[in-house]
Structure 1
Amino acid sequence: MTTNPMTSRLQKLERADAATLRRAWLEIKGTVPPKTFTARLMRLALAWDEQAGREGPEPTKTRRDWNRIIKEKVKSASAELVGSTLPPAVCNGTRLLKDWGGTTHEVLVTEGGATWNGQSYSSLSAVARAMTGTNRNGPKFFGLREAGKS
């Protein structure tokens, strides 16, 4: 019985500690992983790369369909929202997706701020700072404001 090489590599990722995952990230991607990436997140990203390398990337049509669905959700949410301190496109329970560092990150907007990677933050700016390691305007970083506005 032969072992599938991809299965073997995925099993190695599953058992790897953070230091091993950082070395693998550097070897595979040619850069160091973002400072905010946990071992779990590096493991997921590297496993996705492994599978995408074998199966091929997400089809363009699928990516366009998801972007259309997200825009429709944001548009309908903004129609329901009145008098919030967040940008009009965001309300409690909104799920934001952000591509950063070669990975898609999911942020859940909550009444008290936002949640990312299982941790609560006081604002979208705090999430953006944790994600990137630099101070950022959260709503602008997540595409909720036009480039010229703060």
Structure 2
Amino acid sequence: MSPIVETIECSQLENADAATLRWLWAEIKGSDPPRTFTARLMRLALAWEAQSNAQGCEAARSRRDWNRIIRRTSGTGANKRVEAAPGRSVCDGTRILKDWGGTTHEVLITARGGAIWNGQSYSSLSAVARAMTGTNRNGPKFFGLREEVKS
């Protein structure tokens, strides 16, 4: 963490001009700000950084790095994940069983995020849920992928 972040206060950012904000950005984040960022956006981002540092929160860069590591280790490279609740991933080859209408249905997740049910390919779990029930439904929720994990 840059020593500048530790000493900067939000009130100092309020009157800073664009050149000063760009310099602060480079010192704090280690790169130039995006070209589309106005002075107002740089102020907001730098103020957030200063506040999170003052409160002991992790930096946005650390959070992004952790998320990248999680994605890399969860096998999402070749296996595209279907939308799921945090911590619950569904990859190519995953078999989902669903009791519906007194029958247990088996759905197989395919490599492109689609699914196979009753020998027919579908573009998404929502399409399978619609075919299975006859109504529009959120597929991940219908198949229990959005439920909270209870321990």
TM-score by length of 2: 0.42
Structure with the largest fraction of helix: 1
Larger Rg computed on CA atoms: 2
TM-score by length of 1: 0.42
